[in-house]
Amino acid sequence: VPAPSLPPFVCPDLEEQSPTWAVVLPEGCARAGDVVRFWVDRCGRLFVKVNAGLPLLLRKGVLMGAPLWAVMDVYGTTKAIELLDPTASGLPTTVPCVLSDEAVSEPEAPPGKECAICFHHAANTCLIPCGHTLFCSSCAWQVFKDTAKCPVCRWQIEAVAPTQGPPALRTEGGS
């Protein structure tokens, strides 16, 4: 059965059954062999990240005081689902073997625009909520995973966002 002919959800009225909601990944967002991670930040924003790509904001207003149930409706394409530790940063500490041979492509920095950590890649990432933009994506996500504290001001990092890109990838404040 061709994918476009399938309904977006196995239960077509899923979104109409209050208080449930559902989110569909954008077309082509995940392919065979991809590792897809979902997490909700403290502000109730649901994000997805595919492999080493940039995080994508999927939904705002997720209730933080109530239980959250994840139901994966993927039409038989999933081989495994790993639930991450909710007290951790939301990123696994090991890289799945499917990604181990892939290098993260980061742009080389023009003079004066280098990441404050690696001094090689372009500073292209914003830490939320402090707004510091001195880091490349790889270093920012590593800091988020390791300590979740901004290396400049020591504020708690709640999210990492690109400094450039479509509005869907930015936070509510537009940073």
In this predicted model, what pLDDT tens digit does every residue of 134-163 receive, in sequence order? 999 889 988 888 888 999 999 998 888 888
Residues 23 and 81 in one domain: yes
In this predicted structure, the answer to whether residue 93 has a pLDDT above a threshold of 60 is no
Q: Would residue 172 count as lying in a domain? A: no
Query: Which amino acid is present at 109?
Result: A
Indicate the average pLDDT of the chain.
72
Residues 1 and 80 in one domain: yes
Q: What token pair was written down for 8?
A: 């977006």
Alpha-carbon gap, residue 136 to 33, rounded angstroms: 25
Residues 74 and 11 in one domain: yes
Alpha-carbon gap, residue 124 to 148, rounded angstroms: 18
The boundaries of the domain holding residue 148 are 125-162
Q: Would residue 138 count as lying in a domain? A: yes
Alpha-carbon gap, residue 75 to 5, rounded angstroms: 12
Helix (H, G, I), strand (E, B) or coil at 7: coil
pLDDT class for 132, splitting at 50, 70, 90?
Answer: very high
Q: Would residue 48 count as lying in a domain? A: yes
Domain count, the chain: 2
